[in-house]
Amino acid sequence: MKKILCAVALSFSGLSLQAQNYKQAFQSIYEEGMAATHLEKLAHHFLDVIGPRLAGSPQMQLAHDFVTSQYKNWGIEAYNEQWGEWQSWQREFAHIDLLYPWPKTLEATQLAWCPDMKQAAEAEIILLPDAPDSLSFDRMLPSVKGKFVLVSQPQSSGRPLSTYEAYIGKAGADSVAQLRLQETAAWQKRIKNTGFTARTLPARLETAGAAGIISSSWTGGWGALKIFAARTQKIPAVEMGLEDYNLLVRLAQNGTIPKLRIRTTSKWGKMVPAYNSMAVMKGSEKPDEIVLLSAHIDSWDAGTGATDNGTGVLTMMEAMRILKKVYPNPKRTIMVGHWGSEEQGLNGSRAFTEDHPELLDKISMVFNHDNGTGKINTVATQGFINAYAFFEQWIAYLPPALKDEFKMTYPAVPDAGGSDNISFITRGIPAFYLASSNDWDYRLYTWHTQRDTYDKIVFDELRKNAMLVAMLVYMACEEPQPLDRSRIKMPVDIKTGKQKEWPVPEKAVRKGPY
């Protein structure tokens, strides 16, 4: 009995000591994080001076060099690791003007990797032909020759649904939402009837002699557009603001065919290296075990990629800076990967897992941030059965300001796509997506849009996220054992009646674009 009581006493003593150590460490992390005054300046240079970080662009190389130099300035080992190559392309200027029925410069920009035009093109517009089937579409294709083709769904209104609910109530907003669903279904059918997809259609229109492609991928928020990549080789591909796009559609549908002038200029160059930017703090007791931080460094280039994923990069950089100050000799190795070409298919992180098979068994867990500027308060455990034992204990240790409204999903199921944690989950490595239930209108206004700029960052949230990540990493390094990799039995797919399978690795695309 005395031996049992002694063991229990030692157990409680150990827990108390652990809690005390965590409290002291977290106090140091909090003080260092709150005292930071450099984040705004760091973000300004990363986003405003360097600019958007499209794969293969000169700005991408500048971003890699800037990030690694900052780590080195903080005394952290850092390097750029090549995993592929990308053709260099630099956006220049786009001029899109309405010539008829009255003059106006339209709100529009060229898509990434848009062909360079040596001179402006002038042409009338045509809405994508509405064919009953692919054979009929082939017969209608001659009508697009020499025309700028509108390939996106026009909208009955450019007002967000939230404004309808504010002024005419939920029932009125639901009615508008239903109308939009019907309009979307009709347009999707129009695309399907061509025999092509939204991705493959521009190339077919180009071979049919179209003068250019005009799209408008509205997010549902005031003036916000999702802007991705051109799919043409010689003719311009531009994204147009919803209001101007709808104007063109209304004119054409009512018998007044607009005439436009378009010129896009860009610089194509040679193939250039594609990198991941890595930083490492070597472990003192278990150097062969790794806690990995993850945030992709590339972006689309209509805005400056502030919340996708500038905030993720800055969060992980600041977490590493704090840890270097308050936890310079971590028990496990801390590594951070700032991946390239995430936006084209998780290519940098996939390449890392392919190129470093010797590390896959050594990675204890991965923390991935790719979620805008909101405070991290949600983590799904991705189907790893025993993750709850770690996270429940860790959450209890967190300061109240950081664990407020913190939610976990157990055991959840593995993500099937979306961000770089997938590259590790498919290898059986516990890789967690650090999310926010308060996304500051991320999906509506900044994700992949021209509105994704420095002014959208909420720096108070960014500081909290960096401190939280630093605390999670500290606890992950201090754990006696790495996280067990046992996985759930996947659930049955209600659509097929068959058991779902754990996601499998996909190969990195090592040469681009597309």
Residues 343 and 441 in one domain: yes
| pLDDT value, residue 460 | 96
pLDDT at 15: 52
* Number of structural domains found in the chain: 2
298 in the same domain as 181: no
Cα-Cα-Cα-Cα torsion 3, 6, 12, 18, nearest 10 degrees, comes to -100
State the 10-residue block means of pLDDT for the chain, 514 residues long.
40 61 94 96 98 98 98 98 97 97 98 96 98 97 98 96 96 96 97 97 98 97 96 97 98 97 96 98 98 98 97 98 98 98 98 98 97 94 93 92 87 91 97 93 96 98 97 97 94 91 97 91
* Same domain (yes/no): 179, 284: no
Same domain, 284 and 234: no
Other C-beta atoms closer than 10 Å to the C-beta of 129 total: 18
DSSP code per residue over 320-343: HHHHHHH-SS-SEEEEEEE-S--T
Q: How far apart are the first and last CA of the chain?
A: 70
Domain coverage including residue 123: 102-257
- pTM value > 0.75: yes
Which among 366, 337, 328, 332 is positioned nearest to 485, based on CA atoms? Answer: 366
Spatial distance between the Cα atoms of 461 and 312, rounded to a whole number of angstroms: 12
Q: What are the beta bridge partners of residue 341? A: none
Is the domain of 448 the same as that of 302?
yes
Q: Does 43 map to a domain?
A: yes
Burial class (CB in 10 A: 0-12, 13-18, 19+), 370: buried
User: Which neighbouring-strand residues pair with 431?
Assistant: 366
Contact predicate 330/323, CB 8 Å: yes
Both 305 and 453 in one domain: the answer is yes
DSSP notation for 68-136: HHHHHHTT-EEEEEEEEEEEEEEEEEEEEEEEESS-EE-SEEEPBTPPPPSS-EEEEEEE----SSHHH
Same domain, 413 and 491: yes
Last residue of a domain, one of 204, 223, 257: 257
11 in any annotated domain: no
Q: How far apart are CA 291 and CA 451, in angstroms?
A: 34
SS3 sequence of 473-507: HHHHHHCCCCCCCCECCCCECCCCCCECCCCCCCC
Quick: pLDDT tens for 246-255: 999 999 999 9
User: Which backbone phi and psi does 249 adopt, to 5 degrees?
Assistant: -65, -45
What is the rounded CA–CA span in Å between residue 241 and residue 49? 26
Phi and psi angles of residue 484, each rounded to the nearest 5 degrees, phi first? -65, 140
3-class secondary-structure state, position 392: helix
Whether residues 358 and 277 fall in one domain: yes
User: Do 109 and 247 have their domain in common?
Assistant: yes
What element of type H or E holds 32? helix 2-35
pLDDT (0 to 100) of residue 416:
84
Q: Is 398 helix (H, G, I), strand (E, B) or coil?
A: coil
Please report the DSSP string for 134-196 in residue order.
HHHHHHHGGGGTTSEEE-S---S--S-HHHHHHHHHHHHHHHHHHHHHHHHHHHHHHHHHTTS
- 373/405 same-domain check: yes
The CATH number of whichever domain residue 236 belongs to comes to 3.50.30
